[in-house]
Structure 1
Amino acid sequence: MSKQEKIGVNPSREPLTLIVGDAAAWLSAGRSLPDDKGLHYTSYEDLSKDLLDDINPDIVLAPLLGQGFDAMDLAIQLDIFGYKGRFRALSPDLPNPKLILKEVKSLCPKIDFDLFIVDDSADRRMN
């Protein structure tokens, strides 16, 4: 079995990203959401095992701190639902990101978790 098959990646289809968060708040802040068939958006409240099974995402993206949830909450839910793929939390620069990585990995060792550090300063924003 290849590494891609072990983590649930299906090389015969387009990669699919599940983005968990509050899309309505993002849009109301004047930001846009990319319209791409490889992206699927859901709120934390609407996330379910059935949704994960139906979508079978190659990666899950979410903010480190979202509306009503954080990356630890989401990692625990993903683990409960049996997800074994990649989960990346979008985060501002942190003084000690290794602490967060260690905490999530200790509670959810089957989840391939890491942080994407994002600079959201005005001069770096694309929109």
Structure 2
Amino acid sequence: MATGDNNIVSTEKLQTAINEIKRWTVKWRIKLNETKSVHVDFTNKRIDHKPVYINNQIVPYENSAKCLGMTLDAKLRWKPHVKKKQEELKMKYRKMYWLLGRHSALSVHNKLLLYQQVLKPIWTYGI
């Protein structure tokens, strides 16, 4: 990540950092995976995107990026992340309905334990 007064300055700083990381990876014989890299400009303004390169390949520009399980969009709004977590929570709850539903033989205490251990971490991470 790089910051700057405008996108040109921040992109130049980012390219400098990428080049430094590239030198470090060559020294330690580590290969960068440029196919998993994306370039996102975090701003509320409409801007022209200056390309960034890794191994002489343009890093594709995206409107959002996933970092440590969190979805960050270009305007730093939480909507895509929350929507993804909602869907993940719904799917997990549907799979566990036979355990958590009202006709389950489990006690309320055991249902609460299942909720706290399985479902709660999904919606509390990153929010």
TM-score if structure 2 supplies the norm length?
Answer: 0.30
From the CA coordinates, give the structure whose radius of gyration is larger: 2
Structure number with greater CO (CA < 8 Å, separation at least 6) is 1
TM-score if structure 1 supplies the norm length?
Answer: 0.30
Higher helix proportion (structure 1 or 2): 2
Higher strand proportion (structure 1 or 2): 1
